[in-house]
Amino acid sequence: MSNRITKITPNSPVFFDNDPQDELITLNLGPTHPATHGVFQNVLQIDGERIVSGVSTIGYIHRAFEKIAEHRPFYQITTLTDRLNYCSSPINNMGWHMTVEKLLDIEIPKRVQYMRVIVMELARIADHIICNGILGVDTGAFSGFLYVMQEREFIYEIFEEICGARLTTNIGRIGGFERDFNEVAFDKIREFLKRYPPVLSEFEELFVRNRIFIERTSGVAAVTPEQALDYCWSGPILRATGVDYDVRVTAPYCSYEEFEFDVPVGTNGDVYDRFMVRNAEMWQSMRIIQQALEKIEKEPKGIFHADVPDFYLPPKEQVFNNMEALIYHFKIVMGEWDTPKSEVYHSVEGANGELGFYLIHDGGRTPYRLHFRRPSFINYQMFAPMSSGMLISDAIINMSSLNVIAGELDA
Amino acid sequence: MNKLDNQVIIDRLQSVFNDRVRFLGEPHGLLAIETESADILELLAFVKNDEMLRLNYLTDITAVHYPNQNKQYAIVYHLHNLFQNIRIRIKVFVGGEQPTVPSATSLWSGANWMERETYDFFGIHFEGHPDLRRILNMDDLGVFPMRKEYPLEDPNRIDKKDFYFGR
């Protein structure tokens, strides 16, 4: 493995460009470079094609979500979480709902938990489709991306059926869902489980034993488990190094402990392993969705939220015709709810790592402080140090295999 | 291997740090402890390397601003034992003109950006940090925007004041 990282240089902003003998060039990769898939700037010092050192500049789409969240009631923060990792917004939404439910000690019915599991796993598949598809594009294979992209579109159709939105879904409410999945949604989920496996198999056939792909990715940006843990990595890229840390297994939420699934891990921690781990996770996600559908069959029909009138908005027809419902509606919308003073940390396995919500609540209408532990932000900081010594083209595929989403990076 | 739980952690820390750590309770099962900024690095190194605790995964570093307290800023560390899935929360309260705590970058390289973010938003100085610059905001912002005195909306706007809601 010639490209294994041996030395990690600090992420230092100082470039010495005063030696007339050297032939180093300072190159701005980004912030709007098409190969970086998002607003990422890296100032690289390069020697020919090889990167000598680099500095990441981030914050180009910083939107002050944590500050805004201190001024918004809980149910309005869901829309902020949409815009963190916008490739898998439902996971963020669910993570936020679960954080609030943990704060309020709300017990969620089993059927709702399984519905959430379905939504989250669909989102995970959609996210991995993007990441692996784009990784193929960056290594020069465009067709695989188009095959799987069609299925991502189908997942978005399912989201549309469930909540009406596609990308920034705002799916679910505190206490459950805003409405039940309709029959079309269930049919589409079942259809997805039928039509996606052949597509994913074809996608894997295109890449997994493809010599060009292997030579472009194998051994590139290999990271040891020690380095990964030192940089606080989480998610598929940590598992690619061989550490089997998955929040769904370590600290199960939403009844994940009842599901039968494997946690795929890699051995080398290189780009190829990350690709393989993500592919394997898509198969596992489909297993989970299948089981969740079977479990939902056994639950009583029509339950889609917990019985918590203090926090869950009543149906609109009742608000107009029923005094009690109107009172609850008013109290919830105006933030007149009794909430405990407490501190909660809740994390979910996002598509690219541990997505954590640290909520400090003082009993007011809004959180006192809300901090997002954003996996992209923490995973990305190794990018510039690990790029030194790498070829530029390797750094590009390394970046796409990290699956850093600019919205989550900058919050 | 003995099963680790909050009581074991408390006993272990008490035996080593005596009264240099205080226990703040365990909201929702997550043990929260407090220490002084002089002891934080020693405490972090201890819980990371101790054979028994092995809280070696740094989940997050952030800060909270309490403008009405003497020590206005709480720096909050979340640590995780990946072997037994135990988390703890460590808080350090600091105050003064220039709140300062030692940097944890010597223990985890990943602390680098977390501390830069905390500095960027709260103005907490992490002593010994290799590169303490702003990270998400522009370099010449001049204020630390997550402090409570920094307004988000027009401060003259009164229609959202708690007064109008009977509080």
Minimal CA–CA distance to A369: which of B50, B91, B1? B91
Closest to A350 (Cα-Cα) out of A204, A222, A276, A245: A245
Nearest-Cα distance to chain B for A98, in Å, is 13
- Mean per-residue pLDDT for A328-340? 85
Say whether pLDDT at A2 is over 60: no
Could you tell me the pLDDT band of residue A29, with boundaries at 50, 70 and 90? Answer: confident
* B139 or A3, which is more confident: B139
Output the DSSP codes for A255-287: TGGGS-------SS-SHHHHHHHHHHHHHHHHH
Q: What is the mean pLDDT of residues A76-88?
A: 91
Q: Looking at CA atoms only, how far is residue B158 from chain A in angstroms?
A: 14
Domain membership of residue A16 (yes or no) is no
Question: How does DSSP assign B11-75, residue by residue?
Answer: HHHHHHHGGGEEEEE-GGG-EEEEE-TTTHHHHHHHHHH-TTT---EEEEEEEEE-TTSSS-EEE
From CA B147, how far away is CA B61, in angstroms rounded?
A: 16
Mean pLDDT of A98-106: 93
Closest partner CB to A66 (pick from B109, B113, B146): B146
For residue A173, give both structure tokens.
């409410």
Q: Are A77 and A361 in contact (CB under 8 A)?
A: no
Q: Choose the mutation target among A378, A386, A402, A410 for the interface with B, i.e. most B CBs under 10 Å.
A: A378
Q: Which residues of A touch B133 (CB under 8 A)?
A: 13
Encoding tokens for residue A353? 């790592």
**Alpha helix positions (H), A257-391:** 271-298, 316-321, 323-333, 375-380, 383-387
B84 touches chain A (CB under 8 A): no
Does B89 contact A at CB distance below 8 Å? yes
Q: Which residues pair with A288 in a beta bridge?
A: none
Mean pLDDT computed over A276-292: 94
Q: Is residue A42 part of a domain?
A: no
Kindly report the CATH number assigned to the domain that includes residue A125.
Answer: 1.10.645.10
Report the 10 Å Cβ neighbour count for B19: 6
Model-level pTM?
0.91
pLDDT by position in tens, chain B (length 167): 567 888 888 999 999 988 889 999 888 889 999 999 999 999 999 999 988 888 999 999 999 999 999 999 999 999 999 888 899 999 999 998 899 999 999 999 999 999 999 999 999 999 999 888 889 988 888 889 999 888 776 666 677 677 777 66
CB contact under 8 Å between B76 and A358, yes or no, is: yes
Judging by DSSP bridges, how do beta strands B125-127 and B100-102 pair with one another? parallel
At A1 the pLDDT is: 37
CB contact under 8 A, A67 and B30: no
Asked whether residue A159 is domain-assigned, the answer is yes
Cα A15-A386-B131 angle, rounded to 5 deg: 50
Supply the range of the domain harboring residue A252.
Answer: 68-386+394-410
Scanning A174-242, the segments in alpha helix (DSSP H) are 183-207, 211-217, 225-230, 236-240
Which pLDDT value is given to residue B167?
A: 63
Structure tokens at A184: 């079309």
* B61 near A CB under 8 A: no
Q: How many residues does chain B have?
A: 167
Q: Which tokens go with A388?
A: 């030194």
Angle at B3 between CA B78 and CA A342, to 5 degrees: 35
pLDDT of residue A21: 66
Output B162 or A6, whichever has higher pLDDT: B162
The structural domains of chain B, ordered by start, are 6-148 (3.30.460.80)
Q: 3-class DSSP state for residue A167? A: coil
In a domain, residue A233? The reply is yes
The sign of the torsion formed by the CA atoms of A404, A405, A406, A409 equals negative
Q: Tell me whether residue A55 is in a domain.
A: no
Rounded to an integer, the average pLDDT of A227-241 is 93
Average of per-residue pLDDT across A252-269: 92
- pLDDT per position as a tens digit, A181-201: 999 999 999 999 999 999 999
CA B101/CA B90 separation, integer angstroms: 13
Q: What span, in angstroms and rounded, lies between the C-alpha atoms of B146 and A318?
A: 41
For residue A17, what pLDDT is reported?
Answer: 55
A57 domain residue, yes or no: no
pLDDT of A4 > 50? The answer is no
Q: Is residue A281 part of a domain?
A: yes
Please give the average per-residue pLDDT across A86-102, as a whole number.
93
In a domain, A148, yes or no: yes
Query: B161 at the A interface (CB within 8 A)?
Result: no
The pLDDT assigned to A18 comes to: 57
Count other C-beta atoms under 10 Å from residue B5's C-beta: 12
Q: CB distance B78–A382 less than 8 Å?
A: no
Q: Identify the band that residue A28 occupies on the pLDDT scale cut at 50, 70 and 90.
A: confident
Q: What are the DSSP calls for B66-99, one per residue?
A: -TTSSS-EEEEEEEEETTTTEEEEEEEEE-SSS-
Distance from CA of A94 to the nearest CA of B (A): 18
Q: Which residues of A touch B114 (CB under 8 A)?
A: 232, 378
What CA–CA distances, in Å, run from A3 to A218, A221, A223, B7? 9, 7, 10, 46
- For residues A53 and B131, the answer to whether their CB atoms sit within 8 Å is no
Interchain CB contacts (distance < 8 Å): A and B:
103
Look at the block and give the residue holding tokens 């596609």.
Answer: A166
Count of structural domains within chain A:
1
The answer for residues whose C-beta is within 8 angstroms of residue A27's C-beta and 6 or more apart is: A43, A44, A45, A46
- Closest residue in A to B162 (Cα) is A365
Query: Mean per-residue pLDDT for A312-333?
Result: 91
A243–B82: do the CB atoms touch at under 8 Å? Answer: yes
Confidence of residue A3 (pLDDT cuts 50, 70, 90): very low
